[in-house]
């Protein structure tokens, strides 16, 4: 899709055609002898599991320090590099159809007497770079001197400077870049990385942590996969420990990076992992704290009652001295993903906004229930200061009782379950 001209002199010699965009990079007084472009074609999306990262952080070498920032996937693995001539480097980008690159990072490298050959000394960032098809344009930018990224920064309260780090991978040959713009202690950080290996560590997929250079799943950035339950002060979600450099997972259950509390019986051994059939059986017992709802429905075509299709859920006594001020979320027992609504056998249920200290509505929004069973199970997620708690939800659909049996929800199960200790 894209091509590069080696130097600005080549433009006059005809390297730049009558279409596309020419980027002229002035290295100014930075001492750069070559320039490399990192073209960000798409933003990392946490809903897209292709890269296997949460799109929040990447831990560059040393692999233990996650850095937050905007993560962009580069357009191709191969680097686009040009030598500096006359104080400038030039590139030509062409596309088969009109294209806008959300971010382009130019990095200037200075010659290095060490075996490394060169090191980054300057950067420039372009946003929303349009590449025309039928016409041509020239874009100019100037490099700004940049210091190395510091993985364990000290006092940054008054820091105002640019920082950059580039690290390389071998198979296929590519590289990752992170650029920081500091302004009086506030930073903006951007990564441009290959989608197939976002941490550029050459570890063959599937990695334990594709967002940390030779990392472990204890470092941020990886998509959390609930593999097991672990009892700390309460029963919490965990995952089996692993490392990029050790094949397979260990038998040690590592707690999630955020405390995600679940009913204590989930740690009782009956279900050693987040297995839906097992948890359905467990949740149906009286030993589990749960929100249990009676849901009236029309007979025949089992759908919502027009005059009674919502019920209040009040957890105020569980949040004594606090509140659940963040929108509660809903999921099936598969834990595939939480949202404000979820389908239960075709019945689309939704949660309303919370009221202080902690009450909200459960509403049957739409849909016809087609599942054979009259009972269904889910989870409600409530945010806490340390993470979240997951409360089992049991829905008892009762056909043919519209106007006689109200839609209602109650809190059942042991009141002293350690789950509730996570609530304040």
Query: What would the pLDDT profile of 264-290 be if each residue is shown by its tens digit?
Result: 988 876 777 777 788 888 877 788 999
Question: With bands split at pLDDT 50, 70 and 90, how would you rate the model's confidence at 332?
Answer: confident
> How far is the C-alpha of 181 from the C-alpha of 127, rounded, in Å?
14
Residue 223 belongs to some domain of the structure: no
If one counts every other C-beta atom within 10 angstroms of the C-beta of residue 336, the result is 10
314-331 average pLDDT score: 88
Residue 203 belongs to some domain of the structure: no
Question: What DSSP state is assigned to residue 256?
Answer: P
Residues 98 and 142 both lie in one domain: yes
pTM, entire model:
0.74
Residues 261 and 188 both lie in one domain: no
- Provide the pLDDT for residue 70: 97
Residue 2 belongs to some domain of the structure: no
Residues 32 and 145 both lie in one domain: yes
> How far is the C-alpha of 141 from the C-alpha of 104, rounded, in Å?
11
* Distance set, CA 283 to CA 239, 289, 350, 353 (Å): 21, 8, 21, 25
**Domain end point (choices 241, 267, 293):** 267
What's the domain range around 101? 9-193
If one counts every other C-beta atom within 10 angstroms of the C-beta of residue 5, the result is 21
If one counts every other C-beta atom within 10 angstroms of the C-beta of residue 210, the result is 24
Per the structure, the count of domains in the chain is 3
Given strand 347-351, what is the order of strands in its sheet?
310-314, 359-366, 347-351, 341-344
* Distance set, CA 78 to CA 3, 176, 193, 206, 247 (Å): 11, 11, 11, 22, 28
Residues 303 and 401 both lie in one domain: yes
Residues 234 and 296 both lie in one domain: no
Residue 418 belongs to some domain of the structure: yes
**Whole-number average pLDDT of the chain:** 88
Residues 246 and 335 both lie in one domain: no
- Provide the pLDDT for residue 113: 61
Percent of the chain, pLDDT > 70? 93
């Amino acid at each position: 899709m894209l091509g590069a001209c080696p130097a600005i002199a080549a433009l006059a010699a005809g390297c730049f055609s009558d279409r596309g965009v020419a980027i002229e990079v002035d290295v100014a007084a930075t001492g750069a002898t070559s320039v490399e472009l990192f073209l960000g074609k798409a933003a990392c999306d946490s809903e897209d599991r292709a890269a296997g990262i949460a799109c929040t952080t990447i831990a560059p070498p040393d692999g233990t320090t996650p850095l937050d920032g905007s993560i962009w996937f580069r357009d191709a693995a191969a680097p686009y590099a040009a030598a500096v001539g006359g104080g400038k480097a030039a590139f030509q980008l062409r596309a088969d159809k009109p294209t806008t690159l959300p971010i382009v990072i130019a990095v200037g490298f200075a010659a290095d007497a060490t075996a490394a050959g060169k090191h980054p000394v300057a950067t420039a960032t372009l946003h929303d770079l349009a590449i025309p098809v039928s016409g041509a344009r020239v874009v100019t930018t100037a490099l700004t001197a940049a210091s190395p990224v510091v993985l364990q920064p000290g006092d940054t309260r008054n820091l105002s400077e640019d920082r950059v780090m580039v690290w390389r991978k071998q198979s296929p040959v590519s590289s990752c870049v992170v650029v920081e713009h500091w302004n009086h202690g506030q930073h903006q950080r951007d990564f441009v990385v290959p989608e197939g290996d976002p941490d550029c560590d050459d570890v063959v997929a599937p990695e334990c942590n594709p967002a940390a250079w030779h990392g472990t799943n204890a470092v941020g950035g990886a998509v959390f996969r609930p593999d097991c339950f672990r009892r700390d002060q309460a029963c919490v979600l965990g995952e089996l420990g692993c490392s990029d450099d050790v094949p397979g997972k260990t038998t040690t259950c590592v707690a999630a990076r955020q405390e995600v509390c679940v009913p204590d019986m989930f740690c009782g051994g009956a279900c050693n992992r987040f297995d839906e059939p097992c948890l359905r059986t467990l949740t149906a017992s009286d030993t589990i704290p749960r929100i249990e709802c009676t849901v009236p429905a029309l007979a025949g075509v089992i759908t919502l009652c027009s005059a009674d299709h919502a019920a209040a859920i009040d957890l105020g006594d569980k949040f004594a001295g606090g509140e659940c001020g963040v929108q509660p979320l809903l999921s099936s027992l598969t834990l595939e993903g939480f949202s404000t609504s979820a389908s239960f056998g075709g019945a689309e249920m939704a949660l309303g906004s919370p009221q202080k200290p902690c009450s909200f509505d459960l509403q049957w929004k739409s849909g016809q229930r087609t599942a054979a069973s009259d009972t269904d199970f889910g989870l409600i997620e409530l945010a806490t200061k340390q993470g979240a708690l997951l409360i089992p939800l049991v829905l008892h659909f009762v056909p043919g009782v519209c106007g006689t049996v109200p839609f209602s929800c109650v809190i059942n199960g042991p009141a002293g379950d350690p789950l509730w200790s996570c609530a304040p």
